[in-house]
Amino acid sequence: MHYMLSLTGLPVPESIEGMVSGHVFRYGWRMERDPRNIDYKVLTMVINITVTTPYDDRQEIDQAISESTSSALTRFTPASKDAIQRLEKVRFDHDDQCKCMICLEEFSIGIETMRMPCGHSYHEECIVKWLETSHVCPLCRYEMPCVCVDTS
């Protein structure tokens, strides 16, 4: 068994070898005792061993951190006052989104909400306050026209 597992090229801890050997032995013993196999002198057993190597996701994590920090200034750029004023006001209908995803309060039927161009609706005061800080939709990151910030 150790030889078969060592062919994978990975170190074989004794605990894994013992566990695999135990399973193979118990299965072989059950095969031998099975009444359907009483007339056979040789029983064939096929063992498939799947080896999964540890996944190293450090590079992906570093890339995600780099992307999020490089775009942090973009996300916290306020939307333009004109873009905020042009948001559509819509009466809440029970078939629509059921709560404001900024304050997490349920919408009351008939309440007036503000709809972003992406289609997401929020309480007026919630979305206005949000867009005064960030020009992206809190749910889908749709980018609204924003205030130009001089970075020099």
Per-residue pLDDT tens digits for 39-58: 877 777 777 666 565 666 66
Share of the chain above pLDDT 90, in %: 20
Query: pTM to 2 decimals?
Result: 0.49
**Which residue type is seen at 26?**
R
C-alpha distances (whole Å) from 87 to each of 59, 81, 114 are: 40, 10, 6
What's the pLDDT score for residue 129? 93
Share of the chain above pLDDT 70, in %: 64
- Euclidean distance between CA atoms 134 and 51, whole angstroms: 47
What's the pLDDT score for residue 152? 44
- From first CA to last CA, the distance across the chain in angstroms is 67
List pLDDT tens digits, range 97-140. 688 889 989 888 888 999 999 989 999 999 999 999 889 998 88
pLDDT band for position 60 (cuts 50, 70, 90): confident
What's the pLDDT score for residue 122? 92
Rg of the chain in Å (alpha carbons): 31
Tally the C-alpha atoms within 13 A of residue 150's C-alpha that lie toward its C-beta. 1
Average pLDDT over residues 70-80: 68
Q: How many CB atoms within 10 Å of residue 143?
A: 16
- Euclidean distance between CA atoms 106 and 80, whole angstroms: 28
